[in-house]
């Protein structure tokens, strides 16, 4: 890694976050027109990264970064090759359009500034994700995209559906993130590399490692949740609760592609194994079919698109897993094409929703004359989605068929899956693009007209891009496709496919697809009814499962709380003291550190014996005091006995203090007790008494043993000697105790007097402030009654 | 002496385990003394010679009581007194407001038979 | 508890105790005593006075609110600690100054100020607690 690379890239990576900081203020100032300025940010980043195109297309990679925590080999570093560059360009390019589009879509929304802020933050995280070289950075950005998408999906936070969708997305993708973290750590442990760039050069180190399967499963756990693979697909359609710009951006072009990105990124090191070739196509293919079937069922434009997104992601995963050169090229082409057409179609759906007030395809019709520009963009994107020339989607589809078509069972099966999936996507594409615009004008729609320029600019530009990239396919391949495919494949690859029809198997398969598609389009209503019936029969899906999971978690935590916190002080106390006894006694028992039996002191002075006896008597009479006066007095007795003990053992200061404190304690206790109509006697049942006695005796034994052990150890007098020696010379004081208090350990004492003062304040406020509940509790207190009179 | 500390602890903890706050407050007072004595004893005991330097010359090696635990305990006594007073007033106020001195019946913060938290989003 | 004898004796007893507490406070550096002990003695003096003669005479005698005294004490202690900053030594370093007075010299120090602060905090806090508790039944 170059130690100090040009920091422009670093600044560029930070830029979206900085822009997010200023977005709300700017929006306050300029209202929705702030979009024009904010869009400059992604545009500038796009410009910056497009500057890398010549270098990357020459087959080189660019890395850079800073050391972050060198001791742990954690760096803030980036890695630019064909794959990440394409992603970066898509993120920022579409991001620019999305920012503009949001300005139009959420015009006049009270929280528009916040929205801009979120979307820019998301853009920054996504950009960071594809750019990161070090695992840690990758993971952080990965989770950041989950968090920012949570914020964006739940943007409309007043609606429950929105909150649920947001939480669901967070739980699913965040949970996947944990898998990913584990996977990355495992990779780190196995290979010793914490950076993508180094890892990619490690060859088959991972594939040969005994931990391969564990790594494989963990990485897939991350990728599949993020990229909404069946059966974790359910969060993506639900996430359509988000405002349309979010759906267009996160759920077509960027975030959901993060999982695919991860798979493509790791393809050179994790791919080309049995597991990879079987599991990925299996899940991808299932997702493809399930997604399209579910999409047919929907009548909501956005939901239809969402389910086709799920299936497109399935297709991408399938192709990545299939892993032949052509398949990878197909995946790469399809990924780019999908971003272009799906982003455009989502925006179109948003425009229709915005202008006509509904997204239900059965309620829409005849909008062509009212919204010609939108219609043109929609049609172009649908053609691309359907895989018809002259759009980029066509190239992608041809390449996919070329890649999958093999004379083998597996290849044949996947080809059929792809054909069915594509045919159904063909249907959806045209349903979205044609149904709302053609046919008779529905009466309820009223006066619908074309959206403002901020709205239609995005889809139009994306549709144009679909067209241009296809027409100038050699340049597209040279700059984008080939470098990206090479990065995924791990070795140089070049793509050649162009719009010129080439007779062969792929073309034939395309024709079949189109034929099925047209047939299905005509019968779409019947298909939909069939699907609804089928789903009704199944009746249970992962979406409901999620609800049950969340409810179960809440119930479980509730039960656990009830068990460990029953709200009984007695129970807490018992647990605490049992633990105290165990924590002292257990180590002694384990390490055989029992103290030696002490010698009974030969000469115990008479004073000592008497005082100790007094203390003991005081203590026991506290226990058995029948009325409060006895209790108070006996508490005083034991206190004074302690004071005498201090005096005996050479601590006059302590003794005085203890005397005073005990006096005051007795006084205030008496004062308080006269007003508490309490009897200090014991009401407990005998059984409880015995248990409590055992617990307290155990604790006491523990402390006695601890103390014996301590006194039997050699005594370290360093500190005491220090204080004794320097008390006079440094602190000019002969009373060492006091010198320690006010000089050597002054700060401690200072804290302590602060505590005393706070306690005083707390007591004062407790006594003075009284919340008077409206019930009769207060009537218990004689003092209260006096006051009320 | 050690045995006495043990008795202190036993009594304090026994009082703590009671259900009556007033007994618990008494327990807190006793526990304070118990801990003080524990610290005092673990600082070794010497009879009757307070840690005050006689005369104004720097004397070392004189066998005085260990000043360090004494300094610790001195503040501890005052703090535990404030704490004790606070606890006392707190329980007194709790008694006033809640009408009971039995901790089992003090269920204001953690009511019995709580309902499930809301299950929505 | 408000017997005649007690009420008569209490003011004198209290003032004696307060005097003694100041004595204990000041000698604390070289002989048993100090801020904590002194403060407690003074606080019990006020408590006794309060029990004997009621709370309001004590409040009048104190002139300030006990919590204000306590606050002053904390401020004094903090100031004693902070002073050392102006002499570029760490927080709470003791500073000594000999003031010649009547031919003898009296050592004045931030440490002493600190101890006085401790004294005031203890007096203020505990007196206010005691007074607050005494107040109710008599009011």
* pLDDT (tens digit per residue) in C22-48: 888 877 666 667 778 888 888 888 888
Q: Say if B11 falls within a structural domain.
A: yes
Is the distance from CB of C130 to CB of C48 less than 8 angstroms? no
> Does some domain include residue B104?
no
Asked if B13 has any chain C CB less than 8 Å from its own CB, the reply is no
In the predicted structure, residue A6 carries a pLDDT above the cut 80: no
| % of chain A with per-residue pLDDT over 70 | 89
How far is the alpha carbon of B111 from chain C, nearest alpha carbon, in Å? 31
Burial code (b: 16+ CB inside 10 Å, e: under 16) for A165-190 equals bbbbbbbbbbebbebbbbbbbbbbeb
Is A539 contained in some domain? yes
Residue B108 within a domain: no
* Domain, as residue range, for B15: 2-45+66-99
Chain C hits for B89, Cβ within 8 Å: 129, 133
Complex ipTM tops 0.85 = no
Q: Tell me how far apart the alpha carbons of residues A211 and A662 are, in angstroms, rounded to a whole number.
A: 68
Closest by alpha carbon to A699, among B46, B113, B17?
B17
Dist CA A363 CA A444 (whole Å): 8
- Binning pLDDT at 50, 70 and 90, where does residue B118 land? low
Does B42 score more than 80 pLDDT? no
Interchain CB distance below 8 Å, B74 and C36: yes
Confidence of residue A400 (pLDDT cuts 50, 70, 90): confident
Q: Does B6 touch chain C (CB under 8 A)?
A: no
C41 interfaces chain B, CB cutoff of 8 Å = no
Counting the structural domains of chain B, the total is 1
Please report whether residue A735 resides in a domain: no
Q: Which of A419-423, A598-602, A735-739 has the lowest mean pLDDT?
A: A598-602
Question: What average pLDDT does this structure show over A24-49?
Answer: 88
Q: Is the pLDDT of residue A783 over 80?
A: no
**Parent domain of A367:** 151-548
Q: Do A657 and C37 touch (CB under 8 A)?
A: yes
Confidence of residue B112 (pLDDT cuts 50, 70, 90): low
* Confidence band, pLDDT 50/70/90 cuts, at residue A782: very low
**pLDDT for res A563:** 79
Q: Are A567 and B107 in contact (CB under 8 A)?
A: yes
Mean pLDDT for all residues in chain A: 81
Query: A517 in a domain, yes or no?
Result: yes
- Position A92 scores a pLDDT of 92
Buried b (16+ CB within 10 A) or exposed e, A444-457: ebeebebbbebbbb
Closest Cβ opposite residue A654 in set B3, B58, B74: B74
Distance, CA of A735 to CA of A580 (rounded, Å) = 36
DSSP code per residue over B50-93: -SB--TTS---S--PPPHHHHHHHHHHHHHHHHHHHHHHHHHHH
B30 closest CA partner among A752, A648, A623? A623
Summarised one tens digit per residue, pLDDT across range B17-39 is: 776 777 778 888 888 888 888 88
- A271, part of any domain: yes
The domain total for chain A is 1
Tally of helices (H runs) and strands (E runs) in chain A: 35, 2
- The DSSP H or E segment spanning C97 is strand C96-101
B-contacting residues of A 629-658, CB under 8 Å?
Answer: 631, 635, 638-639, 642, 645-646, 648-654, 657-658
User: Exposed, middle or buried: residue C103 (CB in 10 Å: 0-12, 13-18, 19+)?
Assistant: exposed
Query: How far apart, in Å, are the Cα atoms of A388 and each of A27, A395, A612?
Result: 41, 9, 101
| Domain presence at residue B25 | yes
Give the percent of chain A with pLDDT over 90.
7
Average pLDDT of the residues in C92-102: 55
pLDDT digits (tens, 9 = 90+) for A289-329: 888 888 888 888 888 888 889 989 999 999 888 888 888 88
Would you state the pLDDT for residue C95?
59
Which residues, in sequence order, are bridge partners of residue A360?
Answer: A300
Residue B52 confidence class, pLDDT cut points 50, 70, 90: low
Burial of B70 (0-12, 13-18, 19+ CB in 10 A): buried
Bridge partners of residue A134, in order along the sequence: A195
Q: Which of B30, B50, B60 sits opposite A619 (nearest CB)?
A: B30
Asked if the model's pLDDT at residue B15 lies above 80, the reply is no
In angstroms, what separates the C-alpha of A657 from chain C's closest C-alpha? 5
How many other C-beta atoms are found inside a 10 Å radius of the C-beta of residue A544? 11
Residue B52 inside a domain? The answer is: no
Asked whether A339 and A503 are in contact (CB, 8 A), the reply is no
Residues C47-93: tens digit of each pLDDT: 888 878 777 777 887 778 888 888 888 888 888 777 766 665 555 55
A456 pLDDT exceeds 80?
yes
C:52-111 residues touching chain A, CB 8 A cutoff: 66-67, 70-71, 73-74, 77-78, 81, 91-92, 94, 96, 107, 109, 111
Q: Check whether A182 has a pLDDT greater than 90.
A: yes
Tell me which of A6-20, A107-121, A331-345, B91-105 is least confident: B91-105
> What's the rounded Cα separation, in Å, for the pair A295 and A302?
10
Segments in chain C forming alpha helices (H): 4-27, 35-53, 55-62, 66-86, 110-138
Phi, psi of A401 (to 5 degrees): -65, -40
Can you give the pLDDT at residue A734?
65
On whether residue A389 sits in a domain, the answer given is yes
**Using 50, 70 and 90 to split pLDDT, how confident is the model at B57?**
very low
Would A391 be classed as within a structural domain? yes
Rounded distance between C-alpha atoms, residue A72 and residue A227, angstroms: 31
Q: Residue A120: pLDDT band by 50, 70, 90 thresholds?
A: very high
B65 or A239, greater pLDDT: A239
Q: Would you state the pLDDT for residue A1?
A: 39
pLDDT bucket at A124, cuts 50 / 70 / 90:
very high
Q: Report if residue A490 sits inside a domain.
A: yes
Note the pLDDT of residue C85: 64
pLDDT number for residue A181: 92
Asked if the model's pLDDT at residue A395 lies above 90, the reply is: no
Buried b (16+ CB within 10 A) or exposed e, A611-645: bbebbbebbebbbebeebeebbbbbbbbbbbbbbb
Q: Give pLDDT, residue A8.
A: 80
Q: Per mean pLDDT, which range of A14-18, A571-575, B49-53 is the poorest?
A: B49-53
């Amino acid at each position: 890694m170059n130690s100090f690379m040009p920091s422009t890239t670093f600044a560029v990576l930070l830029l979206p976050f900085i822009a997010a900081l200023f977005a709300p203020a700017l929006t306050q100032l300029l209202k929705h027109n702030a979009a024009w300025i904010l869009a400059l940010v992604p545009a500038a980043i796009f410009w910056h990264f497009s500057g890398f195109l010549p270098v990357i297309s020459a087959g080189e990679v660019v890395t850079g970064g800073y050391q972050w925590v060198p001791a742990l080999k954690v760096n803030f570093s980036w890695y630019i090759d064909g794959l990440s560059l394409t992603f970066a360009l898509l993120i920022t390019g579409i991001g620019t359009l999305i920012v503009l589009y949001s300005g139009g879509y959420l015009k006049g929304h009270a929280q528009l500034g916040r929205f801009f802020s979120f979307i820019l933050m998301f853009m920054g995280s996504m950009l960071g994700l594809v750019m990161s070289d070090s695992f840690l950075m990758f993971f952080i950005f990965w989770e950041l995209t989950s968090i920012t998408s949570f914020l964006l999906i739940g943007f409309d936070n007043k609606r429950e559906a929105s909150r649920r969708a947001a939480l669901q997305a967070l739980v699913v993708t965040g949970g996947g993130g944990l898998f990913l973290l584990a996977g990355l750590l495992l990779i780190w442990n196995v290979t010793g590399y914490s950076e993508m760039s180094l890892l990619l050069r490690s060859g088959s180190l991972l594939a040969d490692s005994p931990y391969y399967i564990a790594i494989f499963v963990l990485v897939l756990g991350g990728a599949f949740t993020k990229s909404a693979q069946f059966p974790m697909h359910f969060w993506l359609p639900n996430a359509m609760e988000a405002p349309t710009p979010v759906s267009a951006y996160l759920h077509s072009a960027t975030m959901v592609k993060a999982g695919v990105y991860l798979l493509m990124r790791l393809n050179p090191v994790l791919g080309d194994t049995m597991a990879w070739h079987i599991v990925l196509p299996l899940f991808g293919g299932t997702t493809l079919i399930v997604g399209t079937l579910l999409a047919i069922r929907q009548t909501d434009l956005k939901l239809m698109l969402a389910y086709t997104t799920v299936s497109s992601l399935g297709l991408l995963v399938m192709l990545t897993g299939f892993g032949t050169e052509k398949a990878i090229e197909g995946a790469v082409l399809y990924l780019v094409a999908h971003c272009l057409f799906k982003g455009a179609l989502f925006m179109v759906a948003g425009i229709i929703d915005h202008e006509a007030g509904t997204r239900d395809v059965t309620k829409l019709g005849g909008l062509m004359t009212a919204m010609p520009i939108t219609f043109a963009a929609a049609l172009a994107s649908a053609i691309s989605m359907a895989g018809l020339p002259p759009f980029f989607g066509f190239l992608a589809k041809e390449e996919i068929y070329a890649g999958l078509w093999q004379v083998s069972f597996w290849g044949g099966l996947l080809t059929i899956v792809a054909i069915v999936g594509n045919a159904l996507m063909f249907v959806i594409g045209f349903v979205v693009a044609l149904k709302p615009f053609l046919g008779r004008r529905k009466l309820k729609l009223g006066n619908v007209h074309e959206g403002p320029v901020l709205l239609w600019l995005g889809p139009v530009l994306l549709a144009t891009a679909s067209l241009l990239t296809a027409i100038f396919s050699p340049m597209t391949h040279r700059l984008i496709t080939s470098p990206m495919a090479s990065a995924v494949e791990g070795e140089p690859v070049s793509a050649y496919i162009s719009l010129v029809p080439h007779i062969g198997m792929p073309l034939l398969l395309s024709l079949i697809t189109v034929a099925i598609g047209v047939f299905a389009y005509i019968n779409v209503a019947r298909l939909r009814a069939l699907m609804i019936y089928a789903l009704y029969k199944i009746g249970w899906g992962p979406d409901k499962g999620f609800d049950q999971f969340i409810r179960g978690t809440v119930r479980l935590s509730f039960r656990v709380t009830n068990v460990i916190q029953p709200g009984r002080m007695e129970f807490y106390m018992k647990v605490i003291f049992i633990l105290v006894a165990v924590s002292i006694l257990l180590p002694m028992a384990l390490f055989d550190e029992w103290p030696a039996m002490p010698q009974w002191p030969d000469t115990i002075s008479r004073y000592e014996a008497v005082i100790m006896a007094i203390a003991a008597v005081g203590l026991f009479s506290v226990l058995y005091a029948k009325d409060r006066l006895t209790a108070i007095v006996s508490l005083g007795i034991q206190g004074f006995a302690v004071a005498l003990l201090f005096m005996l053992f050479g601590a006059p200061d302590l003794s005085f203090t203890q005397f005073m404190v005990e006096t005051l304690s007795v006084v205030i206790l008496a004062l308080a007790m006269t007003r508490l109509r309490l009897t200090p006697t014991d009401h407990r049942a005998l059984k409880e008494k015995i248990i409590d006695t055992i617990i307290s005796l155990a604790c006491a034994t523990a402390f006695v043993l601890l103390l014996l052990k301590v006194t039997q150890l050699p005594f370290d007098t360093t500190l005491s000697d220090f204080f004794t020696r320097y008390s006079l010379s440094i602190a000019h004081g002969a009373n060492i105790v006091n010198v320690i208090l006010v000089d050597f350990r002054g700060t401690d004492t200072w804290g302590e007097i602060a505590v005393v003062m706070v306690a005083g304040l707390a007591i004062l406020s407790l006594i003075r402030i009284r919340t008077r509940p409206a019930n009769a509790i207060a009537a218990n207190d004689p003092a209260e009654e006096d006051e009320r009179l | 002496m050690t045995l006495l500390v043990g008795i202190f602890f036993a009594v304090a903890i026994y009082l703590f385990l009671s259900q009556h706050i007033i007994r618990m407050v008494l327990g807190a007072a006793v526990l304070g003394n118990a801990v003080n004595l524990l610290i005092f004893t673990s600082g070794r005991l010497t009879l009757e010679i307070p840690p005050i330097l006689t005369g104004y010359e720097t004397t070392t090696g004189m066998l005085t009581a260990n000043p360090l635990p004494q300094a610790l305990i001195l503040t501890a006594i005052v703090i535990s007194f404030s704490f004790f007073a606070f606890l006392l007033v707190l329980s007194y106020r709790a008694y006033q407001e809640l009408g009971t001195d039995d901790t089992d019946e003090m269920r204001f913060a953690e009511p019995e038979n709580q309902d499930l938290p809301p299950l929505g989003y | 508890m408000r017997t005649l004898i007690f009420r008569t004796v209490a003011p004198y007893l209290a003032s004696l105790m307060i005097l003694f507490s100041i004595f204990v406070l000041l000698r604390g550096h070289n002989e048993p005593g100090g801020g904590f002990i002194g403060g407690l003695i003074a606080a019990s003096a006020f408590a006794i006075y309060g029990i004997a003669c009621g709370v309001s005479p004590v409040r009048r005698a104190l002139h300030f609110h006990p919590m204000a005294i306590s606050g002053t004490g904390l401020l004094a202690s903090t100031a004693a600690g902070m002073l050392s900053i102006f002499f570029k030594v760490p927080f709470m370093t003791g500073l000594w100054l000999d003031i010649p007075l009547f031919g003898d010299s009296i050592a004045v120090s931030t440490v002493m100020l600190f101890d006085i602060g401790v004294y005031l905090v203890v007096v203020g806090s505990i007196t206010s607690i005691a007074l607050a508790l005494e107040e109710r039944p008599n009011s």
